[in-house]
């Protein structure tokens, strides 16, 4: 699967450029099916994909009321880690950070690679043309 391999190279660059502050990154369809990931295990990547898809779905319901789409979500955990989620048309890029990361750097890295991921990974839902 060439597309997943191309996206995985980009995800690996995100982790590398974040200088040890990103533990896991997944690119997934909005229905929670992972397209590509760099994570400690496949099960963690699948769990992250399903969880962020559910969170995005819930927040998009709210965004319908506010007449604006969800673009980026930052969830801060009690231990200082963050889960950052970026949405594209039908797909999601999500990452988990180390405690107290340099969020400015991570946001710059996300902006740098979001367009490339959209181009390489495509958008939409799984099993849709």
pLDDT of res. 128: 40
Q: What is the pLDDT of residues 14-37, one digit of tens each?
A: 999 999 999 999 999 999 999 999
As a whole-number percent, the residues of the chain with pLDDT over 70 amount to: 92
Topology at the third CATH level for domain 2-121 = Beta-Lactamase (3.30.450)
Q: Label each residue of the chain as H, E or C.
A: CHHHHHHHHHHHHHHHHCCCCEEEEEEEECCCCEEEEECCCHHHHHHHHHHHHHHHHHHHHHHHHHCCCCCEEEEECCCCCEEEEEEECCEEEEEEECCCCCHHHHHHHHHHHHHHHHHHHCCCCCCCC
As a whole-number percent, the residues of the chain with pLDDT over 90 amount to: 69
């Amino acid at each position: 699967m060439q597309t997943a391999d191309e996206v995985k190279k980009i995800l690996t660059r995100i982790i590398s450029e974040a200088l040890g502050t990103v533990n896991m990154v997944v690119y997934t369809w909005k229905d929670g099916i992972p397209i590509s990931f760099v994570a400690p295990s496949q099960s963690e990547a699948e769990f992250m994909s399903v969880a962020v898809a559910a969170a995005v779905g819930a927040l998009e319901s709210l965004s319908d009321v506010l007449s604006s789409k969800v673009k980026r979500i930052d969830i801060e955990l009690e231990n200082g880690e963050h889960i950052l989620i970026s949405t594209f048309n039908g797909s999601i890029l999500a990452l988990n950070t180390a405690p107290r990361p340099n969020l400015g750097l991570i946001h710059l890295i996300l902006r740098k690679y979001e367009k490339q991921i959209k181009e390489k990974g495509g958008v939409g839902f799984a099993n849709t043309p």
